Amino acid sequence: MSIRVLHTTPSGDCINAPSFYSDDDLPTPAESREMEVRIIRHNVAANGFRPVPIYNHDAGFNGAGKAPYGTAWQIAARRDPPAAVTTYNPDATNTGIMCDGLRCIDIDVDEPDRAREILEAARMTCGQGSLVRYRNNSPRMLLVYRAAVDAPKRAIKNKHTGHGVEVLGKGQQFVAYGKHPTGADLQWDDDRAPDTVPLSALPVVTEDQITLLLAVAAAALDIQPEAVPAATNTAAPTATDIPISIEDVVASLAVIPDDGGDYDEWLKVGAGIHSIDNGAEGFSAFDGWSRRSPKYQRNSVIKQWKQYHANPMVSITAGSLIHRAREANPAFITPSLRNHIQAKRAGRPAPTERAGSRFMMSSITDILTMPPPVWLVPGLLLENTVAAIYGPPASFKSFVALDIALSLAAGAEWNGQRLPHSGVVYVAAEGASGLGKRAAAWMQYRGITPPEAMRVVGQPVPLSDQQAVNDLIVELRASASNTGLPNKLIVLDTLARCSVGVDENSAKEMGVVIAAAIRIRAETGATVLLVHHTGKDSSRGMRGSNRLLGDLDTTIEIVRHSDASRVALHVRKQKDAEEGDAIYFEMRKVELPLRAGHPMASSLTPVLLEGAEATKKNDDALQFAEKLPLGEVTSLSKAIDLLGWARGQRAFDRIKSAIPKVAGVTVRTPVGMRRITRVDTKTKDGALLVDEVPE
């Protein structure tokens, strides 16, 4: 006796299978399984679908039974014919379907009545005639429609019950044939499946219909209506069209929760990070995210990272992190995708980067249409820059730096502008003990509770030590994960304490220090603010090499008024924006609550002075008295240079406004009374004369 094995596609085509077996030469179970898989995949492809090989349910790793075989499975599935038709691997005999051109409604509900309710809602809103996949051990099911337009995944989920609905789309896949990870067979209602029904026969569903379905399903699953994701602009790229960067991963981790309750989830997140960067940056991201868990143990993180090296979870990719972030926040968008969309909106090609390229080229049109710099602190600090605030000892520069830092961490007002609620890290290199009183005074005066978005490092960070800088960057990423907010400001107070052993007058050695600050900015996207001193001659600006001024984006001088309680901030350099007007503060004493076992305590806090034009002019006059040579006629041009102001008509007008030509101005300085007058010279602008005034 012999058996004829014949298989045909719905169109009547016969596929090639072993033609005859005798009773003495029946196929082995492995041969039968291979033949069955090859037939299914051939017929699926013949019907217009794109088959994907899926790891067997008993492959022995997380994701077995659902994970696609191979790291480039999307590319393989999009070939003609799909690679799954022409290749076979006994470790990947489950078969999935690529969702390009499809909308697959995955009903992840374990309550039979609710699952059936959503099934009927799908048929009502999206139409009859879809394919329906199910398994006997669960009420969960999946419906397959043809997509009116290719679109990315949309999903809703009740975080308390875990029930939800996912609408799979471009770049994704679902398992169509084989065994579920529970061991149950995957089946199709009425034997209508991708290997028996052509793609062209499926009903077409629009994104408006999907939106309506998700709204109905949200009501059935007790999910708030605002949690229903809006239809994505289908002209916009999806995550699968844009290469994923480590920056995208870090942004995703800031959204993905880690409460320590799901060990498998922790493993998958780590594997996703490892898939895109298995080096120091990847480990830093994994370690920082893991620290948010109350069960965090650094040794466990290190051990697992090494395990990824030895046995990588190849089925888990960085794309899974993007999906998890969008599940946690449907509005989440990666930095890469945001940049792409902004470029498209500007009507120019989006910049692309070759794999492994260090340098990305832009056209002149790209440069001309780049967005303007963004203010972090309006009029003072720009985002993603390196800046310095400097002044002589006891000029309250640390108080002002702390004021800015706390205002950002609290999302409070500063100089009349509401600052963005941001992560902040303050390196108190001179010790954190005094910082506590200053912060307490700041909060008490403003009636603000402690802003948890601010973290403090109570020791110096040696910027000349590359390993120390590496360690700081690890901690900075961890703080962003812990607070859930990206760090927007990193304060190093003081630069001198963070560069001990460095020759401040050496351009080469200071170049190393500033390069470290620039690297911290580049690695974190934060503005780095250095707190620094002036030299013995304060008219010459910051202490040390001119390299410092040249490499910084912004420099801010703080000047203490003749009235010892008042200070002024003067922007001396603003590379990518106009220099703003001076900002004036009064230092006010705040009595702190008495603590048991502690003496009475108080501290100062800076308070903005508004509408102080007279104070502004007097402060300028004080600078002239303190920085210009006594008893000598100084041209206005030279005076501007000595003051460190930017040359221009604005500087000349400022001098003329502060010093009336006839009367002049008398001010009190720390060394006595001084009179400043404008005198005529051969130059058209005139000059200034500073004289001592007897008291």
Q: Which tens digit of pLDDT belongs to each residue from 606-653?
A: 888 764 444 455 667 777 787 888 888 888 888 888 877 777 776 777
**In the predicted model, is pLDDT for residue 176 greater than 90?**
yes
Residue 380 in tokens: 């003072």
Outline where DSSP puts E strands in 12-137: 20-22, 51-54, 94-98, 102-108, 131-135
Query: Angle CA(459)–CA(461)–CA(467) in degrees, nearest 5?
Result: 130
* 71-85, 87-101, 410-424, 594-608: which is most confident: 87-101
599 pLDDT tier (thresholds 50, 70, 90): low
Provide the H-helix boundaries in 569-686.
Answer: 613-627, 636-643, 649-658
Q: 46 pLDDT band (50/70/90 cuts)?
A: very high
Q: What average pLDDT does range 33-38 have in this prediction?
A: 92
Write down the pLDDT at residue 226. 60
How much is the pTM?
0.45
Residue 585 has a pLDDT of: 84
pLDDT of res. 564: 62
Average pLDDT over all residues of the chain: 81
Query: What proportion of the chain, given as a percentage, has pLDDT over 90?
Result: 28
pLDDT band at 367 (very low <50, low <70, confident <90, very high): low
Stretch 560-565: mean pLDDT: 67
Residue 588 has pLDDT above 60, yes or no: yes
Rg for the chain, CA atoms, rounded: 34
Residues 187, 135 contacting (CB under 8 angstroms): yes
Residue 25 above 80 pLDDT?
A: no
Phi-psi region of 407 (alpha: psi -120 to 50; beta: other; left: phi over 0): alpha
Which comes out higher in pLDDT, residue 482 or 32? Answer: 32
Residue bearing tokens 């000598």: 632
Q: What is the Cα–Cα distance from 366 to 344, expressed in whole angstroms?
A: 11
Burial of residue 447 (CB within 10 Å: 0-12, 13-18, 19+) is exposed
pLDDT band for position 314 (cuts 50, 70, 90): low
- Measure the CA–CA gap between 44 and 195, rounded to whole angstroms: 4
Q: Which run of H or of E encompasses 490?
A: strand 487-493
Q: Reduced to 3 states, what is the DSSP secondary structure of residue 694?
A: coil
Sheet arrangement for strand 51-54: 51-54, 94-98, 173-177
pLDDT confidence of residue 288 = 82
627 vs 462, residue with greater confidence: 462
Q: Across residues 333-347, what is the average pLDDT?
A: 60
Q: Which of 641, 546, 572 is nearest to 389 (CA)?
A: 572
Alpha carbon distance 206, 643 (integer Å): 66
Task: Select the highest-mean-pLDDT range: 39-48, 64-73, 324-333, 642-651.
Answer: 39-48
Please say if the pLDDT value at position 348 is more than 60: no
Of 137-151, 278-292, 589-603, minimum mean pLDDT range: 589-603
Q: What is the pLDDT of residue 4?
A: 31
DSSP letter for each residue of 524-592: H-PEEEEEEEB-SSGGG-BSS-THHHHH-SEEEEEEE-SSTTEEEEEEEEETTS-----EEEEEEEEEE
Token code pair at residue 663:
């009367």
Beta bridge partners of 4: 20
Q: What is the pLDDT of residue 507?
A: 87
Assign 342 a pLDDT band (cuts: 50, 70, 90). low
Per-residue model confidence as pLDDT tens digits over 216-249: 888 888 887 666 676 654 433 444 445 677 878 8
What is the mean pLDDT of the segment spanning 452-467?
A: 90
Q: Over 50: is that where the pLDDT of 17 sits?
A: no
- Output b/e per residue, 78-91; b: 16+ Cβ within 10 A: eeeebbbbeeeeee
Rounded CA-CA distance 574/373 in Å is 11
Pairing of strands 131-135, 187-188: antiparallel
Does 206 score more than 60 pLDDT?
A: yes
Percentage, residues of the chain above pLDDT 70: 81
pLDDT of residue 305: 85
Comparing 109-118, 127-136, 514-523, 642-651, which segment has the lowest mean pLDDT? 642-651
Express each pLDDT in 478-536 by its tens digit.
777 777 788 899 999 989 999 999 999 888 888 889 988 998 988 888 999 999 998 77
For residue 75, name the pLDDT band (cuts at 50, 70, 90). Answer: confident
What is the structure's pLDDT at 318?
Answer: 81
Q: Does 11 have pLDDT greater than 50? A: no
19 against 136, higher pLDDT: 136
366 pLDDT higher than 70: no
